[in-house]
Amino acid sequence: MAQLEEILRPPEKDLPPYPAKCIVLASGEKMVIRQARRDEVPILLPDVAALTKVERDYYDIVAARAYAELLGWLRYRVRDEYCLVGLIDGVLCGLVNGRSLSAKVGVSFHTIAMRRGLRVGAHLFAAKMEYHIEHLNQQEVYIVAESPIGFRRWMIEYGLEKRPQVHHELGGVMSWSLTRDLYFESRDRLVVGERPVPQDLVEKAKTILPVPEDQLIKQVTGRIRQAES
């Protein structure tokens, strides 16, 4: 069994750490973005699973696929994956993940904002690109969009280049690339945050506090219905 597991499990490589940073949101709340550890994945999964029930804005597709990716990372079935989490006072407000394809190329997987209207997703995606380009020192990141929001945020805001010849791991849709040049052209207007993170926030961000399902659904939907008339 151990021998078989050795075959099934991809070789392990320690990726350089993502140094945590702190971002003051429009609300004035301070969001810490830090790297999640593999052993923290079980804390993330219930919230991601809850979002598979939300059809709006393609949360269901994004959450279902992110769930599989995170589970694959937890159970040693995806190579060189990482996950960054956004935390406000320790409470999970979003996550992004991806993996290192080679020394030169990164692959962006998914971005999930669990708080809406504060550009949490935009900040987390920027942190992901920062990780690939500045910390993994890669030349480019392959990206696809599964929602109109994603397309508007990534392909248009970053002015990504098309990579029709690239088969992205998420499927057969058009692949795009964030090159180093594009990243540094956009860096000043899209990548922000303060380092080092103040100690009190570091302490609060040590533990990931998941969001209760009812609250999470309310946070990402906000339906008109209050009560049946």
Partner 1 sequence: MRDVYIIGAGMTKFGRAGDWTLIDVLEYAAAQALKDADLKDDIESVFVANMGAGLLNHLSGVGSAMVDRLCLWPATAETVENGPASGGSAVKVGTMAVGSGAVDTALVIGGEVMRSVTGWEATDFVATLSHPEAEYIYGVTLPSLAGMFARLYMDKYGITPEHLAMVAIKNHQNAMKNPNAHIQQTVSMEGLLHRPEAVVNNPYVAEPLRMFDCCPVSDGAAAVILCTKEIAEKSGKPMVRVAGFGQATDTHAVHERKDPTELTAVRLAAERAFGMAGRKPADVDVAELHDAFTILEIAESEEAGFFDKGTGHIALENGETRPDGRLPINVSGGLKARGHPVGATGVAQVVEIAWQLAGKAGERQLDDPRVGFTCNFGGFGNNVLCFVFEREG
Cβ 37 to partner 1 shortest distance, Å: 26
Looking at residues 36 to 75 of the shown chain, list those that interact with partner 1 (rule: CB under 8 A). Answer: 56
Q: Which is nearer to partner 1, 78 or 92 (CB)?
A: 92
Handedness of CA 193, 196, 198, 201 (dihedral sign): positive
**How far is it, in rounded angstroms, from Cα 150 to Cα 156?**
9
How many Å separate Cα 15 from the centre of its chain?
Answer: 16
Cβ 30 to partner 1 shortest distance, Å: 10
**How far is it, in rounded angstroms, from Cα 53 to Cα 110?**
17
Cβ 148 to partner 1 shortest distance, Å: 6
Looking at residues 135 to 174 of the shown chain, list those that interact with partner 1 (rule: CB under 8 A). Answer: 148
Distance from the first to the final alpha carbon of the chain: 60
Q: Which is nearer to partner 1, 65 or 123 (CB)?
A: 123
Residue 13 touching partner 1 (CB under 8 A): no
Cβ 17 to partner 1 shortest distance, Å: 22
CB 47 within 8 A of CB 114: yes
Residue 102 is encoded by which pair of tokens?
């080679």
Q: Give the DSSP letter string of 55-99.
A: -GGGHHHHHHHHHHHHHHHHTT-STTEEEEEEEETTEEEEEEEEE
CB atoms within 10 A of CB 215: 12
Segment interacting with partner 1 (CB under 8 A) among 58-66, 75-83, 174-182, 219-227: 219-227
Cβ 100 to partner 1 shortest distance, Å: 25
Residue 195 touching partner 1 (CB under 8 A): no
* Residues forming the site for partner 1 (CB under 8 A): 23-29, 56, 117-119, 122-123, 126, 148, 188-190, 192-194, 221-226, 229
